[in-house]
Amino acid sequence: MAHMEYNVPSERWPAHPETATMEGKNKFVGFWIFLAGETALFASLFATYLALKDSVPGEDHPLAADLFALPLAFVMTMFLLTSSLTSVYAIYHMRNNNFAKMQLWLGITVLLGLGFLALEIYEFIEYVHHGHTFRSSAFGSAFYFLLGTHGFHVVIGLGWITLLILRNARRGISVYTAAKVNTASLYWHFIDVVWVFIFTIVYLLGVM
């Protein structure tokens, strides 16, 4: 193997810059396996939630049907789904070696993610006012643990993408940075998919 060329000139820019190097290929496969583990993690969380979702200490403690408002959850879903789409745009421009557009769409992704996060925090504060807290019941514990873990993933994802935008600002795009961006976007899609399950299992099932 000859010396690796990271800054491939645009006329030879590969169709898949993210897997053009051996490290890139490893990252790609390794991250998918990590996501398999994350799936097992969230499966365990959903199972715990389903086991405890109706478990409260007394009659007066609110349950899912008393708390959840579908319109808000729907708006949150839209924020997150759209942010997944914008991250696809970023990857599209990465593959076309268009650094400025890639950064732009990554930025928009972060903004949408922040919007989601703000709504989630607002929602949690509302619930706490209704007496539904992490410590008030097993239902509360399970609810905040499931959504909190997802929310924590959102925070990590936002921090990660922001960091990539900043660190790559000077470096531009190369097959080395492309692998990093691609991995972050895989992560972001995964968070999105988990949310779809949360929307269905927690919110839709909760209000029905």
Partner 1 sequence: MASTAKKQGVGSVIWDYLTTVDHKKIAILYLIAGGFFFVVGGIEAMMIRIQLAVPNNDFLSAGLFNEMITMHGTTMIFLAAMPLLFAFMNATVPLQIGARDVAFPFLNALGVWLFVFGGIFLNLSWFLGGAPDAGWTSYASLSIASAGHGIDFYALGLQISGAGTLISGINFVTTIINMRAPGMTYMRMPLMTWTTLVASVLIVFAFPPLTIGLFLLIFDRMFGSSFFLVETGGNTIIWEHLFWIFGHPEVYILILPAFGIFSEIFSTFSRKRLFGYSAMVFATIIIGFFGFMVWAHHMFTVGLGPTANAIFAVATMAIAVPTGIKIFNWIATVWGGSIEFTTPMLYALAFIPSFTMGGVTGVMQAAAPADYQYHDSYFIVAHFHYVIVGGVVFGLLAGLHYYWPLMFGTMLSEKLGKITFVIFVIGFHVTFLIQHFLGLWGMPRRVFTYLDGQGYNTANLISSMGALLMAIAVIILVINIIMTVAKNQKVGRDPWGDGRTLEWSLPLPVPYYNFAQIPLVRGLDAYWIEKKANNGRMMPSESLEDFHMPNNSFIPFVMSFGLFVAAFGALYFASGKDWAIDAVSGLNVHPWAPWVLGLGLAITVGAMITRSIKDDLGYYVTKEEVLRDLEEEERRAR
Using the rule CB under 8 A, which residue among 8, 14, 16, 55 binds partner 1?
55
Size of the site for partner 1 (CB under 8 A): 44
DSSP letter (8 states) at residue 16: -
Q: How many CB atoms lie within 10 A of CB 204?
A: 13
Measured from the CB of residue 103, what is the shortest distance to partner 1 in angstroms?
A: 16
Return the C-alpha torsion angle 108, 79, 157, 155, nearest 10.
120
Stretch that binds partner 1, among 8-16, 83-91, 117-125, 164-172 (CB under 8 A): 164-172
Contact indicator for 181, 88 with CB cutoff of 8 Å: no
Using the rule CB under 8 A, which residue among 10, 12, 37, 59 binds partner 1?
37
Q: How far apart are CA 182 and CA 180, in angstroms?
A: 5
DSSP letter (8 states) at residue 58: S
Binding residues for partner 1, rule: CB under 8 A, are 1-4, 6, 22, 25-26, 29-30, 33-34, 36-38, 40-41, 43-45, 47-48, 51-52, 55-57, 134-142, 145, 160, 163-164, 167, 171, 176, 180
